[in-house]
Amino acid sequence: MADATPTVLMWSGGKDAALALEALRAEAGYAAEALVTTVIEGADTVTMHGVPLDLIQSQAAVLSIPLHVMRVPPAPSNATYEERLERTLAPLLARGLTTVAAGDLFLEDIRAYRQDVLGRIGAEALFPIWERDTNALATHFLDVGFRAVVCSVDTTRLDGAFVGQRYDAAFVEGLPEDTDPCGEHGAFHTFVTDGPLFAAPVPVSVTEHYGTGRMRYAQLEPGEP
């Protein structure tokens, strides 16, 4: 709509990002006009998620939202991250996209950091699903027809056997009692393959599991699950 604030959405390809996009579209005052995805340079996989960039590009295509890619080295310093973010956002800020949304839920330190960094480069942070009940969010995600696969697991918080599973009611019910159903605190991350925002599915297959350190990843490739 004409009077909606043009907004940039930090896009990981996961369910919290999808829920944030849905919330933005439900709010009359905002219109997501750009997605920004952070990938590890050289590998071109989403940080912490391990999802290949070409799958993120497929999501952006079926969402009909332009994708902007920010490349960072593995484990970048704050200074490096902030420099790359400023560089990536500069052309968007110049077009008047000064609101930057993220799908953060509860982590106050991350919220404060985003607000500080974005404020210093002339942008305003927005958190469309902040402090929403995660049990209700997980139920809503599945009830409205979103579909996702678990693409990575932090094995210090959740058994690595959960990686590669479909994010569905059985997955949520099978989580340990102390694990948040939305994976808050980084227990697991997801890749969304379909949903009410998508013009078409982005089907993937899990070809293998990998990772010998803290993180366990599912190797995702285009194709039927």
Do residues 121 and 17 share a domain?
A: yes
Query: Across residues 116-145, what is the average pLDDT?
Result: 97
Do residues 59 and 152 share a domain?
A: no
Q: Find tokens 């500080």 and name the residue.
A: 116
Confidence of residue 223 (pLDDT cuts 50, 70, 90): confident
Final residue belonging to a domain, choices 102, 126, 150? 126
**The tokens of 111 are what?**
């919220």
DSSP per-residue string spanning 26-56: HSTTEEEEEEEEEEETTTTEETTT--BHHHH
Share of the chain above pLDDT 90, in %: 92
The confidence score (pLDDT) of residue 83 equals 98
Final residue belonging to a domain, choices 63, 92, 126? 126
CATH no. for residue 95?
3.40.50.620
The confidence score (pLDDT) of residue 69 equals 98
Contacts by residues 124-128 (CB-CB < 8 Å, ≥ 24 positions apart): 124/98, 124/99, 124/100, 125/100, 125/101, 126/7, 126/30, 126/99, 126/100, 126/101, 126/102, 127/20, 127/101, 127/102, 127/103, 128/19, 128/20, 128/23, 128/24, 128/27, 128/30, 128/101, 128/103
The confidence score (pLDDT) of residue 131 equals 94
Do residues 14 and 85 share a domain?
A: yes
Share of the chain above pLDDT 70, in %: 98
Range of the domain at 170: 141-214
Final residue belonging to a domain, choices 126, 160, 192? 126
In order of 26, 65, 90, 163, the CA distances from 68 in angstroms are 23, 10, 11, 27
Query: Across residues 197-224, what is the average pLDDT?
Result: 94
Q: Into how many domains does the chain fold?
A: 2
**pLDDT, tens digit, 9 for 90 and up, residues 33-90:** 999 999 999 999 999 999 999 999 999 999 999 999 999 999 999 999 999 999 999 9
Do residues 156 and 94 share a domain?
A: no
The helix, strand and coil proportions of the chain, stated in percent and rounded to the nearest 5, come to 30, 30, 40
The confidence score (pLDDT) of residue 175 equals 97
The confidence score (pLDDT) of residue 196 equals 96
Residue 222 lies in a domain: no
Do residues 95 and 150 share a domain?
A: no
Do residues 121 and 53 share a domain?
A: yes
Cα separation of 165 and 146, whole Å?
15
**pLDDT, tens digit, 9 for 90 and up, residues 149-166:** 999 999 999 999 999 999
Say if residue 2's pLDDT is above 90: no
Residue 223 lies in a domain: no
Mean pLDDT, the chain, whole residue set: 95
**The tokens of 94 are what?**
């110049």
Do residues 77 and 26 share a domain?
A: yes
Q: Which of 141, 149, 150 is nearest to 196 (CA)?
A: 141
Confidence of residue 27 (pLDDT cuts 50, 70, 90): confident
Cα separation of 78 and 84, whole Å?
10
The confidence score (pLDDT) of residue 213 equals 87
Residue 56 lies in a domain: yes
Residue 219 lies in a domain: no
Residue 135 lies in a domain: no
Do residues 173 and 201 share a domain?
A: yes
Cα separation of 95 and 93, whole Å?
5
34 neighbors 65 (Cβ within 8 angstroms): yes
The confidence score (pLDDT) of residue 1 equals 46
Say if residue 176's pLDDT is above 80: yes
Do residues 120 and 149 share a domain?
A: no
